[in-house]
Each structure stands twice: as structure tokens, then as C-alpha cells.
Homo-oligomer: A and B are copies of this chain.
Amino acid sequence: MSASTALLTDRYELTMLDAALRDGTASRHCVFELFARRLPGGRRFGVVGGTGRLLGLLRDFRFGDDELRYLRDADVVSPEAVAYLESYRFQGSIAGYREGELYFPGSPILTVEGSFADAVILETVALSVMNHDSAVATAAARMSIAAGDRPLAEMGSRRAGESSAVAAARMAYIAGFGATSNLEAGRRWGIPTMGTAAHSWTLLHDSEEDAFRAQVEALGPETTLLVDTYDIARGVETAIAVAGTGLGGVRIDSGDLPAVAATVRAQLDALGATGTRITVTSDLDEYAIAALAASPVDAYGVGTSVVTGSGHPTAGMVYKLVARQDAAGGWVSVAKTAEGKGSQGGRKSAFRSLDAGVATQELVEIADGFEQLAQPGDHPDARPLQVPLVVDGEPVSDHEGAAGVESARKHHLRVREELPIRALALSRSDPAIPTVYLDA
């Protein structure tokens, strides 16, 4: 496996680069925009995810010997293009929404500026990261809202590609989860990890009692015992008999959860284990979590639904050329106009209008060139949404690593407070606030 990320790229980007080197358009200054035409699934807001990871991948976006040899041997591009790529490194600039920020249809989530050659070949890697991570973040935020103050853990690694699983753990944490089962996410970004035992632990032993005793000896009575391998009532009884009434928690991974949770709570209380917590983990999504709000559940573990975006595994964002220089060096706004997939040309600046701290609209100001762009102070009742992410090829390191994760999480939890109440409902609807375009 190569450490380079440069071939996480669709072939047509290099084909275009090749042709552009020949006809001289490769050096035209361009503005590409990454945005979503709509929010998937009738959701009311989206959550931007992936920014910090993308900046890390950009650092490794260099064509090394392996990559160049492949492009040459497989005749992907001309020898001239191979020579150009040998010294390629992105030298343009990227501004965009902070990770964890909310987005709406048309929000200019990333604005990539540079020569055509510089910017065109980032299309696939940028979209892969942002589409996946934003899909997970958006689903996770809905679950976090549904869970209220009860802690949520992400444990879906097994239901996602092995690398996407690590990214998903990161996004769930940014969007409000408290922990993950994924150890690589713990190692890489310092995200808290959790987990005690699977059914195989109980089945490995000659009896459930043996299994519980060994676990309590190893992990202490504050551990969580999985009580549903055989019969839940017997499992709870054995758990308390072995660990005592100071047992930290029991986990239930099957059955009709509202009914089971109530029964288990009553049983624990009757046994005197009034402080023993109940964690449920069986195929939860935001709707199941909401339906358990009145049940005596202390914590949720969420797997498949969070890592797969709860029915919407990709955010559907696109990467489009919106402005470029013409042959004379002037600025031209450009957009595809064919049916159904039109987009808004022009470079944009974006603000979230607020009324007494509550978001009222996504304000997107369009300019043809750079000079006329709205500046942060231009809309005093609105919060500017774009920050510099890459400046002249250099990623702004604040957004990367464990510190980037913590700051994205804080930012997300803070800006979520700006949502109008109606945005918190789980049912399908329109975006919570309208996107309003202004000509600068």
C-alpha cells in the first residue's frame, strides 16, 4: 500500500489536466466550489464533516515513483503530463466551512482556488472525504439530539469499510457522541474508547456465571456485563449475584427494548442494584433512540445506522467550477445549465443570519471576481461561515489532529444551539432555514 493519496482520483481529472497542459488552459486561474444541491432524506440541516482529515490527505497528495510508474505504464496520460505531475503539489488556497458547522443547500462548503491544473485534480479526494464524513456527521447529530443528555457510543466499525470506520468514529464524536469502540480512532485522535465483552465471552465459558466472574475479576465490579446471551432475567440475576449491587452496568443487545429495559430496571431495583446502569445496543437509529426517551435506559450504543448515515450513506455533495479567468485575464462566472443539475456560478461568501441567536437564513453573496466579495463585517447580524483552510498550498494546522477534532466538536455543539426548534424534529421536511442568494 502506498502512503501517497494522489491516486484517490478519478481518471478524468488527469485526462483533463493532460489536455489542458496541451492547449494552455492548465494555468487559467479557477474557483471550484464543493456544495450540496439538497439535504438528503428530507433532513432539516446537514453537518460538515471531513475537513480536518482532508487537510491531512492533501499533505500526502504527491505523485511518487509508484504512482508515476503506473500512470506511465498504463498510458493514463502523456509523458508530458507525467513529468508535470512529478513535481505536483497543490499550491492554491482553500476556504470553507469549519468542520462541525451546519450546512444547507447551496452552502459554499469549500472554495478551492488555484490554476485549473492545481484545483481540478482534488475533486475526487475532496468529495470522497466530505461526502462520507458529512453523511455520518449529519446522522450522528440527529442521534445526539434524540438522545438528549444520555451518553451515546459509536460501535459500528464492523458495518463500514475498515478505514471509513475510523473516520466514522471521528465524525460521531464531533457530532455529539461521547465515545467509540474503534481503537484506531482512539489512537489517532484521542477519542475516548469503550467496550467490555461480546456474546462470545459468555459462550467461551462453561457457564454464564464463570464468564461474569472472570470479567469482574479482570475489570472490576464497575464493568458492564452483557446479560442477554441466554435468558435476560437469569442473566441479570447472575450478574448481581457475581458482581454485587455495585455492578456498573448491564448491556442488552436484543429484544423489544422498551419492554426489556423496564423489566430489567425493575429487576435491578428489586435486587438492590439501583445504581446499576442499563445500556442498550440493538440496531438503534435516531428514531429508536427517540422512542426510548421515556424508558429507563442510561446509555445507547449505536452501530450500523450511524456509520452508514442512517439510510443516507453519502451527502451527495458535488465539486464544480464556478468562476475562471478568460483568455484576457478577466473573471467569468460559469455554471452548467442543462436540465436538473444546474448550479449557481460565481465565487461566494456565506453568512448565517441570526435573530436573537436563532438562525434565520443562509446568506450567500455572489461576486464575479475577488475584489467585490463581502467581508466579515458587512453583515453585522450574521455570522461569517468561511475560514481559511489552506493558504498558498499550506494547510492551516488548527484543523488537523486531535486538537482539530476537539475544536470541531465544540464548534458543532455550539452552532447547533442556533438551530430553530423546528430543526430538531426527526421527521422529513424542508431545510430549517432558506438559502438566500445576494448579488454583491
Q: How far is the CB of A170 from chain B (nearest CB, A)?
A: 11
A394 at interface, CB cutoff 8 A = no
Decide if B12 touches A196 in the complex (CB within 8 Å).
yes
Decide if B199 touches A8 in the complex (CB within 8 Å).
no
Q: How far is the CB of A435 from chain B (nearest CB, A)?
A: 22
**Number of A interface residues in the complex (CB < 8 A):** 109
List the B side residues contacting A314 at CB < 8 Å: 159-160, 304, 307-308
Say whether, besides A23-B218, A231-B338, A163 and B160 are in contact (CB < 8 Å): no
Q: How far is the CB of A224 from chain B (nearest CB, A)?
A: 10
A3 at interface, CB cutoff 8 A = yes
Decide if A11 touches B193 in the complex (CB within 8 Å).
yes
Q: How far is the CB of A243 from chain B (nearest CB, A)?
A: 13
List the B side residues contacting A18 at CB < 8 Å: 218-219
9-residue interface stretch from A103-111, A118-126, A356-364: A118-126
Say whether, besides A123-B198, A193-B76, A205-B25, A219 and B9 are in contact (CB < 8 Å): no
Decide if B128 touches A195 in the complex (CB within 8 Å).
no
Q: How far is the CB of A402 from chain B (nearest CB, A)?
A: 12
Q: How far is the CA of A195 from the CA of B337 in the complex (A)?
A: 22
Q: How far is the CB of A155 from chain B (nearest CB, A)?
A: 7
Say whether, besides A193-B74, A217-B19, A337-B229, A155 and B10 are in contact (CB < 8 Å): yes
A276 at interface, CB cutoff 8 A = no
List the B side residues contacting A326 at CB < 8 Å: 206
A157 at interface, CB cutoff 8 A = yes
List the B side residues contacting A316 at CB < 8 Å: 159, 304
- Measured CB to CB, the nearest residue on chain B to A184 is B7
A204 at interface, CB cutoff 8 A = yes
Decide if A15 touches B195 in the complex (CB within 8 Å).
yes
List the B side residues contacting A9 at CB < 8 Å: 157, 182-184
A422 at interface, CB cutoff 8 A = no
List the B side residues contacting A76 at CB < 8 Å: 183, 186, 193
Within 8 A of B (CB), among A8-42: 8-16, 18-20, 22-23, 25, 28, 30, 32
Partner of A203, one of B217, B219, B334: B334
Decide if B129 touches A161 in the complex (CB within 8 Å).
yes
Q: How far is the CA of A205 from the CA of B321 in the complex (A)?
A: 11
- Measured CB to CB, the nearest residue on chain B to A9 is B183
Decide if B197 touches A253 in the complex (CB within 8 Å).
no
Decide if B228 touches A338 in the complex (CB within 8 Å).
yes
Say whether, besides A128-B165, A204-B324, A199 and B336 are in contact (CB < 8 Å): yes
Decide if B183 touches A339 in the complex (CB within 8 Å).
no
Q: Which residues of A contact B (CB under 8 A)?
A: 1-3, 5, 7-16, 18-20, 22-23, 25, 28, 30, 32, 57, 66-67, 70-71, 74, 76, 78, 116, 120, 123-125, 127-129, 131-133, 155, 157-167, 181-184, 186-188, 193-201, 203-206, 210, 214-215, 217-219, 228-232, 253-255, 304, 307-309, 313-314, 316, 319-321, 324, 326-327, 334-341
